[in-house]
Amino acid sequence: MGLTIGVDIGGTKIAAGVVDEKGTLLATTRRETQASDPDAIEREVTDAVAELRRDHDVEAVGVAAAGFVDAHRGIVLFAPNLAWREEPLRDELAARIDLPVVVENDANAAAWGEFTFGTARDVDDAVLVTVGTGLGGGIVVDGRLLRGHVGVGGELGHLRVVPDGIRCGCGNRGCWEQYASGSALEREGRDLVASGSVYAARLIELCDGDPARLRGQMITAAAAEGDAAAVELLADLGRWLGEGMASVAAVLDPALFVVGGGVVEAGDLLIEPARAALGRQLTGRSHRPPIEVEAATLGNAAGMIGAADLARTRS
């Protein structure tokens, strides 16, 4: 099969691109997501695909959807930030587009992109951990996506790491993403700013003294400058990330953890503490090879590229 289109539907934007057999993006376009209107989302996806097809002969479309996806039936069971409830997205889009359509969870699609064309292309067993507003994940075992019984496997952010810990948006307490995510980084940074500590002077300066204005990018920028408080905040995030990885490794024994998402822009300021924490907590660590932790390489395009390849291979 030749060219396919990958579409990544998130809570605020729809990104679509034409992808060749080598995982190269040949053309891209984007639309705004009307999160409360499933029909409007499908119209925008159809329009984006039509735009890309004007200059490219494509054979199938892969859709990466932010939600719980039954990939076998092409149904979005539930999406926390979109108005999808038991949405037959594959069939609805196929009827509009008149091409074969594959629907996959967005983190799974990104994991497949990194496994096929990115950081994890040389291993058979890998886990992608996406550190953004929340914490997501995708798992490849023996060269195949692990989807679970009804397609909602790999929701790593909702592993409970602290009994009776911080309340999560899912309703439970102590979920991993409450301690290892961009939101967690901002929460801790804002607490530090609110304390008025001299230690937080650079962060206070960046947000003009208003904790609510502090953003993760500001913390990362301050850490890159060498600000001790910002470096410590990222190190704490990395520690939580690595400790959660150790729990995942006890179940899956991957060869590699790939870290993606916006926070990975911090580079080794995040990755090194994660490696160290994983190494300290890994079961049987004195009698097994270490598990590598590497940054993702496909960036925001991973979901598009992975979805397009899943449409090509029907994996």
Rounded Cα distance between 56 and 49, Å, is: 10
- CATH, range 122-296: 3.30.420.40
Domains 3-113+301-313 and 122-296 share a fold: yes
User: Across the 315 residues of the chain, what is the mean pLDDT of every consecutive 10-residue run?
Assistant: 92 93 96 88 96 96 93 89 90 95 95 96 96 92 92 90 92 94 96 96 97 96 97 98 97 96 92 97 92 94 96 80
Q: How far is CA 296 from CA 106, 119, 128, 179, 264, in A?
A: 15, 6, 8, 20, 8
For 27, the 3-state DSSP assignment is strand
pLDDT in tens, 189-248: 999 999 999 999 999 999 999 999 999 999 999 999 999 999 999 999 999 999 999 999
Average pLDDT over the chain reads: 94
Is 131 within 8 Å of 182 (Cβ atoms)? yes
pLDDT score for 313: 87
The residue ranges of every structural domain in the chain are 3-113+301-313, 122-296
The interaxial angle of helices 268-281 and 228-252, nearest 10 deg, is 40
pTM above 0.85, yes or no: yes
Rounded Cα distance between 314 and 309, Å, is: 8
Write the class of the CATH domain 3-113+301-313. alpha beta
43 Cβ contact list (under 8 Å, min separation 6): 96
pLDDT score for 315: 53
DSSP strand pairing (13-19 vs 3-9) = antiparallel
pLDDT score for 173: 96
